[in-house]
Structure 1
């Protein structure tokens, strides 16, 4: 068994018996997709909601919800998954800092979660589990054999969904 590390603004897929892991989910969202019939798992570490926020010509597809999720779905389909069989689980999207102003640009975590949900909805992928929000960082690990997502939250222990 190999643990495939997914970095910030990165994505990847895994097959049994391997696992996918990402760390440092604060306001970022870990989007995990799983085709239970084909046993293909995918994970994206989404940093920002929308690629229009990019300021350079070099677009990092894994960084944004509107580009990472379609790319992850396409990679899984290329590996043999069927979109109709894919389910999703989300973790992260915390509001890591308290701000006094109601400025929407400071709500990166909640905006990331909303953008990921919109992209999954438009792809007709059902979200079956979610551990989002709060103000603590998370590390997640997905088992490509079982589809179980293990979520480690700072000061709150481990849970599985």
Structure 2
């Protein structure tokens, strides 16, 4: 009986330890319903040419923030929901009045809210139909920090003095 009790304590200890060390994952409680009516647009054609299936047209995600005793409202817009190889992607289209700054901070500002709110999605697709451009944006770790300033300068992402 002592052996059985020791085994149960050991299993309980290992289970608890595994549970505590499990990585913290963000899960969004903010869902959305797919919009079945998909209007024709060059961005839809570009996505389909790249092998994506467009599942939904424009969505508006309402947000509310509690700041002290005030409730502030805002919203995020998702242009399309697309799927490929069983993975779902949020799609943002290029806007002339809101150009994307293709730097780390620009990507963070423009796309991080979507990546954090919907971690179950494989990433965000940025579509510029006028330039026939499709970019996939995913959130990764910063393990490859060995990129030199020279490489960044060559790509136009680093200014030298």
Q: Is TM more than 0.5 here?
A: no
Which fold has the larger relative contact order, with Cα–Cα distance below 8 Å and residues 6 or more apart in sequence? Answer: 1
Q: Which has the larger radius of gyration?
A: 2
Greater share of helix residues, 1 or 2?
2
Of Structure 1 and Structure 2, the greater strand share is in 1
Structure 1 length-normalised TM:
0.29
Q: TM-score, normalised by structure 2?
A: 0.29
